[in-house]
């Protein structure tokens, strides 16, 4: 006989909605605000077997639906946080499409979301194209006391200790209300360990990657783990699942 206390709900296909409606639902369902820092949402993708990369990059796990959700989130948040390991490995661009830039401006935001990174030892490659383009403002939080020669739209913010908490507090002071952290796994694990991640929007891509010792979406001790997360929303787009979680045990900087 089955356990009467255990209940299930089918993830049945319903009327299809766009990525914008998924993101509106996610953004409307905020974890309780924590004073002194932005609402911080992790945006990550993994294969069905948990791998966070294919051949050292996340792009191989992507799909049109996943890209629509990522780019849609960039359109809607006040700023992005991306670790230097990811910026160096992926060398990606966060530049939006013209209609997304227009939507941001119409909503009273800058045309492109500012990009923040935390690099205690300035391990960020100063030649990254992203740091030299003319459209994206970047904030580089560091505790390394040496010059970092980059483009005019990059502000290097020196902190006595370049912790995620100190960076988030500074972003909050600059008016950032909602922050999307696009990884990578080391920086995201640090946010979780320090109680600074509010939510996670995880794409599960319909891929098996295989191999041993995979890089997963968290690389690092998260302290007092395993941690429970609360499932808030589920969507299916193509063969991918989109899972919105709230984290518990969150803290102010």
111 vs 156, beta carbon nearer ligand NAP: 156
Phi, psi of 115, rounded to the nearest 5 degrees: -110, 120
CB-side neighbour CA atoms (13 Å) of 244? 19
- Residues 172, 159 contacting (CB under 8 angstroms): no
Stretch that binds ligand NAP, among 44-52, 72-80, 145-153, 233-241 (CB under 6 A): 44-52
**Residue 181 binds ligand NAP (CB under 6 A):** no
Label residue 70 exposed, middle or buried (CB < 10 Å: 0-12, 13-18, 19+): buried
Q: Which of residues 155-174 bind ligand NAP (CB under 6 A)?
A: 164
CB of 220 to ligand NAP, least distance (A): 6
Q: Which of 27, 41, 154, 190 binds ligand NAP (CB under 6 A)?
A: 190
CB of 226 to ligand NAP, least distance (A): 19
Quote the strand ranges of the chain, DSSP E. 39-47, 79-81, 115-118, 138-142, 154-158, 178-181, 199-205, 229-237, 240-247
CB of 35 to ligand NAP, least distance (A): 21
Among candidates 184, 193, 252, which has minimal Cα distance to 35? 252
CB of 234 to ligand NAP, least distance (A): 18
- Residues 96, 71 contacting (CB under 8 angstroms): yes
Reduced to 3 states (helix: H, G, I; strand: E, B; else coil), residue 115 is strand
**Residue 42 binds ligand NAP (CB under 6 A):** no
**Residue 121 binds ligand NAP (CB under 6 A):** yes
Q: How many residues sit in the footprint of ligand NAP (CB under 6 A)?
A: 31
**Residue 207 binds ligand NAP (CB under 6 A):** no
Q: Which of 115, 118, 128, 140 binds ligand NAP (CB under 6 A)?
A: 118
**Residue 119 binds ligand NAP (CB under 6 A):** yes
CB of 111 to ligand NAP, least distance (A): 24
**Residue 84 binds ligand NAP (CB under 6 A):** yes
CB of 62 to ligand NAP, least distance (A): 9
Q: Cα dihedral angle (92, 93, 94, 99), rounded to 10 degrees?
A: -140
> Distance (Å, rounded) from C-alpha 227 to C-alpha 168?
22
**Residue 219 binds ligand NAP (CB under 6 A):** yes
Taken in order 81, 87, 89, 94, is the CA torsion positive or negative? positive
Q: Which of 38, 72, 113, 184 binds ligand NAP (CB under 6 A)?
A: 184
> Distance (Å, rounded) from C-alpha 245 to C-alpha 113?
23
**Residue 239 binds ligand NAP (CB under 6 A):** no
> Distance (Å, rounded) from C-alpha 228 to C-alpha 177?
25
Interface ranges with ligand NAP (CB under 6 A): 44-46, 52-53, 56-58, 61, 83-86, 89-90, 118-121, 123, 164, 182-187, 190, 215, 217, 219
């Amino acid at each position: 006989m089955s356990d009467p206390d255990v209940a299930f709900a089918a993830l049945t296909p319903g009327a299809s909605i766009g990525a914008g409606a998924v993101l509106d639902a996610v953004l409307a369902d905020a974890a309780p605000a924590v004073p002194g820092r932005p609402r911080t949402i992790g945006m990550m993708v993994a294969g069905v077997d948990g791998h966070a990369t294919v051949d050292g990059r996340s792009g191989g796990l992507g799909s049109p639906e996943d890209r629509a959700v990522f780019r849609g989130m960039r359109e809607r948040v006040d700023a992005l946080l991306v670790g230097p390991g990811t910026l160096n490995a992926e060398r990606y661009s966060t530049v939006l499409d013209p209609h997304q830039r227009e939507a941001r401006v119409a909503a009273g935001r800058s045309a492109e979301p500012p990009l923040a990174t935390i690099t205690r030892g300035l391990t960020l490659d100063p030649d990254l194209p992203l740091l030299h383009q003319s459209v994206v403002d970047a904030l580089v939080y560091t505790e390394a006391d040496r010059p970092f020669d980059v483009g005019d739209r990059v502000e290097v913010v020196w902190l006595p200790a370049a912790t995620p908490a100190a960076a988030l507090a500074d972003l909050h002071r600059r008016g950032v209300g909602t922050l999307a952290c696009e990884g990578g796994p080391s920086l995201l694990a640090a946010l979780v360990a320090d109680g600074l991640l509010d939510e996670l929007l995880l794409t599960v891509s319909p891929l098996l990657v295989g191999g041993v010792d995979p890089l997963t979406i968290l690389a690092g001790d998260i302290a007092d783990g395993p941690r429970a997360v609360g499932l808030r929303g589920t969507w299916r787009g193509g063969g991918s699942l989109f899972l919105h979680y709230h984290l518990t045990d969150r803290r102010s900087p």
